[in-house]
Amino acid sequence: MAKVPRNFRLLEELEKGEKGIGDGTCSYGLSNGDDIYMSDWNGTIIGPGHTIHENRIYSLKLHCDDNYPDSPPSVHFISRINLPCVNQQTGKVEPTKLSCLANWKRNYTLETVLTDLRREMANPHNKKLPQPPEGSSF
Amino acid sequence: MEETLSERSIVVSFRPSNGKLFDCSFDPSQMTVLQLKEKLARETNIPADSMRLVYSGRILKDEDMVDSYGVKEGHTIHVVRGAANQAAEQAAANSSSSGGASRYATPSTSSSPASSSSVNPFSNPPPTRQLGSNSNNFEQDLMRGMMNSPMMRQILSNPEIVRSMVMQNPTMRQMIERNPEIGHIINDPSFIRQTMDMARNPELMREMMRNNDRALANLETIPGGFNHLRRMYHTLQEPLESAGRHSDNSSEAANQRLAQMLNVESPPEGQINSTPLPNPWAPRNHNNSGSSSTTTGSSLSQTNPFGGISNFGFGFPGSILNFTTPPIGDRIASTTNQTSTSQTNQTSQANNSSSTPSSTSAGVSTTTPSFSDPDLFRRFQQAMQRYPQYLSRPHQQTFYPTSLFGSPNPFFMNMQQSSFGAAQPTTIQPTEPPEIRFRLQLERLEEMGFVDQAANIRALLAAGGDVNSAIEWLLQNSNS
């Protein structure tokens, strides 16, 4: 199968994000609509139900460098969150601690990352972790 | 962005987090996000102030114009029900901190229709979970609202009045007369005050319950903890529970009827009872919950998980499927859960042993200092709360055998009753093939980029139809 070049791939993801195709728990889009390189993205994760994150919305920024999708995007939380895979000083998601970043595959998307993070929030070990007040940011 | 400058409406899809996608047309250059929310509030039943809109990874701010986010024709905005905005939260906090009590505190309130319907132990989950469930929120709100009226606050802030209210209730008075130690609790103003504090703040109460459950679980892990818990159970739990139950002669008859129904024979006098406990799920002529005909495979083969366990009320972990192999060592944890959540079904053996004032007051007097223990409050509240129910439905409440030896385990029955209500839908045997049953989930998985249908079906089967777990399964299996 032919490799989809970076920009086509990101355009595809942009369309998916704007049209809201997906399970509706994560949303993502370009942070600057004029950015023709489509490097900087915003993402939101709607906190999974029956966890401490219920009724919260977490904002993230994602950066896709030139090697995307061969290399994973870098992901930062903007909203403060207490998760083992998130650096508590910077909000950066540690690539080694999130399985989809650690074992990045070319067919993974930004949505994969967001849903994986959401799953991490709902993980029984994490879903009761005390969280900083809503609205605070890194 | 040329389109957004033109003065025409666009059609945008809205995707509520729990509901159907719908379309709405508006002119993004003429509308602020707040106005849009108000428009949407009519379509969904989410009030505008607790609605949040998410588009392209951004949370839309109320004061911004919609077109500043570059929303275009055919795009989708996620609609999320969030916590109410800060002003509303503040108002709620003020009102909830300003006093009052809930139905947990006073028997006079527990006879109101709203609360008595909520304490049916056969239809509702155990109280600890009940507090967190939505079905209860309405009642809590109602109760909080009622308790916040200045008059109620005044009344309830005076322990003396509360006490006289309690004593005016004939059933409570009887209970207190029969069990002097309950009277002590009611006479203790600090107890009443603390109960009120807890009762008017559901958050606090929930938190305390959780802490307590954890504390009990921790206690169990230290050496000798088991014995301590057992002692606590005998000295605190039983008297309080039995206080909320009057000795009822019909219980013997009811027990016998149940035993007959389950084909249980009385154990031979003076011998160790080695006959297995009956299987309550086995098909039989009469069933009392109306739902026990749906059986799970594992429980069919199950006959006696509790034979040989002594008369201490062992329960089993919350899942029906788990109970097939409960090692005794693990049991005390679930025992503490059971004792806190299923008092309704305690044996009347406990009742007999502790309904004599001498034995119970002896037991309780040794533990009087720990009446500051919130756990005790909770149990006392539950006992008070349930008491009227015993009067109205004595037969259902005392449907359980007098002895655990050779007779149906009451927890067994309890679990059967309480778990079938919830578990019934999942135990219905699927008749359609998985492709059809999981049609929606499959579509969703495909949307997410999982294109291998066979793998998707396998994942969904493994996850029991839950998309999130299925994704997990798929990712794990593709990673390895």
Mutate which: A1, A9, A14, A23, vs B, most B CBs within 10 A = A23
* B304: pLDDT strictly greater than 70: no
Q: Is residue A46 part of a domain?
A: yes
Q: Is A134 on the interface with B (CB under 8 A)?
A: yes
Domains of chain B, with CATH numbers? 2-82 (3.10.20.90), 86-268+275-425 (no CATH), 434-479 (1.10.8.10)
Which structure tokens are listed for B308?
A: 């040989």
B137-189 pLDDT per residue, tens: 555 566 666 666 666 766 666 667 777 777 777 777 777 776 666 666 666 66
* B41: pLDDT strictly greater than 70: yes
Residue B78 contacts residue B55 (beta carbons within 8 Å): yes
Q: Is residue A93 part of a domain?
A: yes
Q: Is residue A102 part of a domain?
A: yes
Using CA atoms, how far apart are residues B245 and B394, in angstroms rounded to an integer? 9
* Yes or no, beta carbons of B471 and A119 under 8 Å apart: yes
Residue B275 contacts residue B267 (beta carbons within 8 Å): yes
Sheet containing B10-16: give its strands across.
B22-26, B10-16, B76-81, B51-55, B58-59
Residue B115 contacts residue B103 (beta carbons within 8 Å): yes
Task: Return the bridge partners of A15, or none.
Answer: none
Least confident interval from A23-37, B243-257, B393-407: B393-407
CATH number of the domain at A48, please: 3.10.110.10
Question: Domain span at residue A25?
Answer: 6-122
Average pLDDT score over residue span B363-391: 51
DSSP state string for A11-69: HHHHHHHHHT-SSSSEEEEESSTT-TT--EEEEEEEPPTTSTTTT-EEEEEEE--TTTT
Contacts of A99 in chain B (CB under 8 A): 475, 479
Q: Is residue A22 part of a domain?
A: yes
* Residue in B with minimal Cα distance to A128: B210
Q: Is A30 on the interface with B (CB under 8 A)?
A: yes
Task: Report residue A62's pLDDT band, with 50, 70 and 90 as the boundaries.
Answer: very high
pLDDT at B267: 62
Q: Distance (Å) from the C-alpha of residue A69 to the closest C-alpha of chain B?
A: 15
Q: Is residue A134 part of a domain?
A: no
Residue with tokens 């916590």: B83
Residue B200 contacts residue B99 (beta carbons within 8 Å): yes
Q: Is residue A37 part of a domain?
A: yes
Q: Is residue A135 part of a domain?
A: no
* B352: pLDDT strictly greater than 50: no
* Residue in A with minimal Cα distance to B470: A119
Contacts of A112 in chain B (CB under 8 A): 449
Give ipTM to 2 decimals: 0.87
Amino acid at B184: H
Q: Is residue A127 part of a domain?
A: no
Mutate which: A14, A35, A44, vs B, most B CBs within 10 A = A44
Using CA atoms, how far apart are residues A12 and B383, in angstroms rounded to an integer? 61
* Yes or no, beta carbons of B78 and A100 under 8 Å apart: no
Mutate which: A1, A16, A18, vs B, most B CBs within 10 A = A18
* Yes or no, beta carbons of A31 and B54 under 8 Å apart: no
pLDDT at B332: 41
* B9: pLDDT strictly greater than 60: yes
How many domains does chain A fold into?
A: 1
Contacts of B17 in chain A (CB under 8 A): 24-25, 46
* Residue in A with minimal Cα distance to B479: A103
A59-118 residues touching B, CB cutoff 8 A:
59-60, 99-100, 103, 105, 107, 109, 111-112, 115-116
DSSP state string for B137-171: HHHHHHHHHHHTSHHHHHHHH-HHHHHHHHHHSHH
